[in-house]
Amino acid sequence: MDITNNQVSPVIMDPAPVNNSRFGGVLSSLLPYPKQGTSSSSSKYITIPRRKPGKLDDVRSNGWLDAMKASSPTCKKLAADNSDIALEDIDSAHLSWMLKYPSALRSFEHIVNFANGKRIAIFLDYDGTLSPIVDDPDSAFMSTEMRSAVKNVAKYFPTAIISGRSRDKVYDLVGLNELYYAGSHGMDIMGPIHKSGSEDCLNYVKSTDQQRKMVNLFQPAREFLPAIDKVFRALVESTKGIRGANVENHKFCTSVHYRNVEEKDWPIVAHRVRDVLKDYPGLQLTHGRKVLEVRPLIEWNKGEAVEFLLESLGLSSRNDVLAIHIGDDNSDEDAFRVLRTGNIGFGILVSSFPKETRAVYSLKDPAEVLPSIRSDHLVMEFLKSLVSWKEMQRHRATYQSPPYPVNSS
């Protein structure tokens, strides 16, 4: 049996699953990938390994431009024609991709059957997941309906936003106090007081949240703050002549947007960024959706942030936890990977086009690719379905319990 779909036999398995004691060998046989690592331990948060600087990739020979072109491709059919798309118009590559990564909405029954009796934790990316992708990053607002869907989810399940934006910016955009927030690709986490009590290390900062409640800030890249600030200013300076280029400071990382730059000028963006980065061997470059992201060269990403939050919430090393991460971007792959390899849960990739992913499910299958159906609406539908399912379960539990106390003597 496979968690991805109970009707079709969809997923070609990797090598035979190993028995996973965390899940009593059950989840390992349900998820398509076997557990490879062990569960996280709090001691790993004391020192986060810094990676050795590598040689800076050459813009032409090493595929910066290919990656820039590949990031966030537009589905030609959608761009060219806003009219109805028949299912038969969707190419076979997409259909076979969908067999491998079925729609989380169409597989909902299967997901909740599997989740029954487990403690669910929800991790959500922001841009392209909770909000639609727009040209101006400052105008990427989530809808009021989405906000209320996320708020409802958080009533029943611990919920965290894990974004490439700075924590403050993403908090301003989401505006819900009941969530946990991890900004700068997980390098700035505001979470609960760590259950293991191991916060006495350099990476932790005690702070207060918007309601003046004591919280822990976990910032494993604090020493990079001056470098990020400097590189941000250098990038602003070096790209200021490029029409449409825009640089954002996200505190522990910085983004160079080229969505609004004419494609003929993309090589200029790539060269300028590369030239700046030559002076910063402690920083690395990653590719997002029409954005170049500059971040500290440390072993920390959205995947580590998911593990960290699970541990802080007292949800790691338990057999009954199911973590779900929903995201659309390359950086979300780190979270998908951790969930797969740790057999902790699964990822849901939001994508209109087939792509390699470590997620188990997708949102936007061929029928959902209609231009009138927005990805964030599908994510909202999934979140609402989870809430309805949970409410139904509670209702059933109340209805089935005897109306009077049972005398056990």
Ligand X SMILES: O=P(O)(O)OC[C@H]1O[C@H](O[C@H]2O[C@H](CO)[C@@H](O)[C@H](O)[C@H]2O)[C@H](O)[C@@H](O)[C@@H]1O
Residues near ligand X, by CB under 6 A: 125-128, 133-135, 137, 140, 163-165, 248, 250, 255, 257, 259, 288-291, 293, 329, 331
* In the complex, least distance from residue 26 CB atom to ligand X, rounded to whole angstroms: 31
* In the complex, least distance from residue 269 CB atom to ligand X, rounded to whole angstroms: 13
**Nearest residue (CB) to ligand X, 201 versus 225:** 225
* In the complex, least distance from residue 289 CB atom to ligand X, rounded to whole angstroms: 4
**Nearest residue (CB) to ligand X, 42 versus 71:** 71
What's the rounded Cα separation, in Å, for the pair 191 and 218? Answer: 8
What's the rounded Cα separation, in Å, for the pair 67 and 330? Answer: 11
Whole-angstrom CA distances from 55 to 51, 52, 279 are: 12, 10, 12
Whole-angstrom CA distances from 28 to 14, 23, 183, 343 are: 12, 7, 31, 6
What's the rounded Cα separation, in Å, for the pair 46 and 199? Answer: 8
Closest residue to ligand X in the complex (CB): 164
**Nearest residue (CB) to ligand X, 187 versus 321:** 187
* In the complex, least distance from residue 256 CB atom to ligand X, rounded to whole angstroms: 9
Contacts of 294 (CB under 8 A, 6+ apart): 228, 231, 235, 253, 254, 255, 256, 273, 277, 280, 283, 284, 285
Per DSSP (E only), the strands in 31-187 are: 119-124, 159-162, 180-183
**Nearest residue (CB) to ligand X, 140 versus 363:** 140
**Nearest residue (CB) to ligand X, 141 versus 206:** 141
**Nearest residue (CB) to ligand X, 151 versus 295:** 295
**Nearest residue (CB) to ligand X, 110 versus 325:** 325
What's the rounded Cα separation, in Å, for the pair 26 and 47? Answer: 33
* In the complex, least distance from residue 286 CB atom to ligand X, rounded to whole angstroms: 9
What's the rounded Cα separation, in Å, for the pair 71 and 237? Answer: 24
**Nearest residue (CB) to ligand X, 161 versus 321:** 161
What's the rounded Cα separation, in Å, for the pair 174 and 146? Answer: 9
* In the complex, least distance from residue 148 CB atom to ligand X, rounded to whole angstroms: 20
Compute how many other C-beta atoms are within 10 angstroms of the C-beta atom of residue 49: 11
* In the complex, least distance from residue 246 CB atom to ligand X, rounded to whole angstroms: 8
What are phi and psi for residue 190, nearest 5 degrees? -105, 110
Tokens 């960024």 belong to 273
**Nearest residue (CB) to ligand X, 194 versus 358:** 358
Contacts of 265 (CB under 8 A, 6+ apart): 242, 243, 244, 258
Q: Which long-range contacts (CB under 8 A, 24 or more apart) does 228-234 make?
A: 228/252, 228/253, 228/254, 228/283, 228/294, 228/296, 230/280, 231/276, 231/277, 231/280, 231/283, 231/294, 234/276, 234/279
